[in-house]
């Protein structure tokens, strides 16, 4: 198939491109704001376009045909979205709308990466299923929910096929350790390079950490079962909670550091507990997470170590 990956030069996108390449014709659309050309094989065409540029997107889709568009490009920093909600909305709401307008005449299947960490709010029962009503607290989560609803609208009004994947906390090689996204990347980078690392609050808050290789398999599996996955919303997580303190202990052991964490005041509005049920995706495609936290963290530490040494 002819496939476009928006955000394909980023963390998850570049792993997805690698997985698709042996079987499909793959191109990338990215403005390289956080993504990097070096994340991609040199043979993959990279179209340097900003989602905020509706005209450039329309022109691109008038000149190129795709059967599938994986839409990963986004402003991914929750804190930035709180500080600059308009900037966030310009990329994550208007940018997504520009993309849908450009895709619309071709009726390409849009597979969208939403969030399972920032869309549900605090849930009474974990792991959370997709039927739990979304109540996002950050502009980032609000924008992702808006993206989901626009996809549903474009399907109903214009026949554009779509699938939504709500990702838990994804970690793995190539994740950006700077900025706010990705506590695994931040801890790994800081512990390996001997810098102090911080835990906000008591560290007993829990998250559902899912390895990037498992997430990429989910994105690829969805493609194989259009009849079961189009028009659907799926969580992608492990169903397991891991506290930030446990995560620290795993990483400290793997890295061999005796550094103890510095605790800072908790972040206002931060979720206490999160884990996502993947039952629906399992029933539709047979997908299950395969990489344990220990294996995934070991692979991540090895990749970060290699990068620091090169």
Ligand X SMILES: NC(=O)c1ccc[n+]([C@@H]2O[C@H](COP(=O)([O-])OP(=O)(O)OC[C@H]3O[C@@H](n4cnc5c(N)ncnc54)[C@H](O)[C@@H]3O)[C@@H](O)[C@H]2O)c1
Of 75 and 138, which CB lies nearer to ligand X in the complex structure? Answer: 75
Of 108 and 145, which CB lies nearer to ligand X in the complex structure? Answer: 145
Does position 76 bind ligand X by CB under 6 A?
yes
Q: Check the CA dihedral 182-221-24-64 and report its sign.
A: negative
* Opening angle at CA 70, ends 163 and 281, nearest 5: 35
Q: Write down the least CB distance from residue 265 to ligand X, Å.
A: 23
Q: Write down the least CB distance from residue 30 to ligand X, Å.
A: 5
Of 262 and 307, which CB lies nearer to ligand X in the complex structure? Answer: 307
Interface with ligand X (CB under 6 A), residue from 4, 7, 190, 199: 7
Q: Write down the least CB distance from residue 39 to ligand X, Å.
A: 8
| Footprint (CB under 6 A) of ligand X, residues 143-182 | 167, 169-170, 176, 181
Does position 72 bind ligand X by CB under 6 A?
yes
Does position 30 bind ligand X by CB under 6 A?
yes
**132, 140, 150, 278: the active-site residue:** 140
Unique residue bearing structure tokens 């090169």? 310
Q: Using omega within 30 degrees of 0 as the cis cutoff, is the peptide bond preceding 127 cis?
A: yes
Which range in 26-34, 156-164, 267-275, 286-294 contacts ligand X by CB under 6 A? 26-34
Q: Write down the least CB distance from residue 281 to ligand X, Å.
A: 15
Of 11 and 187, which CB lies nearer to ligand X in the complex structure? Answer: 11
| Footprint (CB under 6 A) of ligand X, residues 31-60 | 31-35, 50-52
Q: Write down the least CB distance from residue 251 to ligand X, Å.
A: 16
Q: 3-state secondary structure string, the chain?
A: CEEEEECCCCHHHHHHHHHHCCCCEEEEECCCCCCCHHHCCCCCCEECCCCCCHHHHHHHHHHCCCCEEEECCCCCCHHHHHHCHHHHHHHHHHHHHHHHHHHHHHCCEEEEEEECCCCCCCCCCCCECCCCCCCCCCHHHHHHHHHHHHHHHHHHHHCCCEEEEEECEEECCCCCCCCCCCHHHHHHHHHHCCCCCEEECCCCCEECEEEHHHHHHHHHHHHHCHHHHCCEEEEECCCCCEEHHHHHHHHHHHHCCCCCCEEECCCCCCCCCCCECCHHHHHHHCCCCCCCHHHHHHHHHHHHHHHHHC
Q: Write down the least CB distance from residue 137 to ligand X, Å.
A: 15
* Dist. CA 115–CA 193, nearest whole Å: 30
Residue 140 catalytic? yes
Does position 13 bind ligand X by CB under 6 A?
yes
Q: Give the binding-site size for ligand X (rule: CB under 6 A).
A: 30
Does position 206 bind ligand X by CB under 6 A?
no
Does position 300 bind ligand X by CB under 6 A?
no
Does position 293 bind ligand X by CB under 6 A?
no
Interface with ligand X (CB under 6 A), residue from 95, 141, 172, 173: 95
Active-site residue numbers? 140
* Residues near ligand X, by CB under 6 A: 7, 9-13, 30-35, 50-52, 72-76, 91, 95, 113, 115, 117, 167, 169-170, 176, 181
């Amino acid at each position: 198939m002819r496939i476009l990956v928006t955000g394909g030069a980023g963390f998850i996108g570049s792993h997805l491109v690698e997985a698709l390449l042996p079987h499909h014709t793959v191109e990338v659309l990215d403005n390289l704001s956080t993504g990097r050309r070096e994340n991609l094989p040199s043979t993959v065409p990279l179209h340097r376009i900003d989602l905020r540029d509706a005209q450039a997107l329309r022109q691109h889709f008038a000149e190129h045909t795709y059967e599938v568009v994986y839409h990963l490009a986004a402003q991914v920093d929750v804190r930035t979205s709180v500080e600059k909600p308009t900037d966030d909305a310009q990329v994550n709401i208007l940018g997504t709308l520009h993309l849908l307008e450009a895709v619309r005449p071709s009726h390409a299947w849009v597979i969208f990466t939403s969030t399972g960490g920032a869309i549900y709010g605090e849930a009474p029962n974990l792991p959370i299923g997709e039927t739990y009503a979304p109540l996002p607290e950050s502009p980032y989560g609000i924008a992702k929910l808006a993206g989901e609803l626009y996809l549903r609208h474009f399907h109903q009004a214009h026949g554009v096929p779509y699938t939504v994947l709500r990702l838990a906390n994804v970690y793995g090689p190539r994740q950006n350790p700077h900025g706010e996204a990705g506590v695994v990347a931040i801890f790994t980078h800081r512990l390996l390079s001997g810098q102090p690392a911080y835990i906000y609050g008591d560290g007993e808050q829990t998250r559902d950490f899912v390895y990037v290789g498992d997430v990429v398999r989910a994105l690829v599996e969805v493609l194989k079962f259009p009849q079961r996955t189009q028009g659907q919303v799926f969580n992608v997580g492990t169903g397991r909670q891991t506290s930030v303190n446990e995560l620290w202990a795993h990483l400290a052991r793997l890295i061999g550091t005796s550094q103890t964490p510095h605790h800072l005041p908790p972040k206002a509005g931060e979720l206490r507990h999160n884990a996502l049920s993947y039952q629906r995706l399992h029933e539709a495609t047979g997908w299950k997470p395969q990489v344990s936290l220990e294996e995934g963290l070991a692979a991540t530490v090895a990749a970060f170590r290699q990068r620091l040494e090169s």
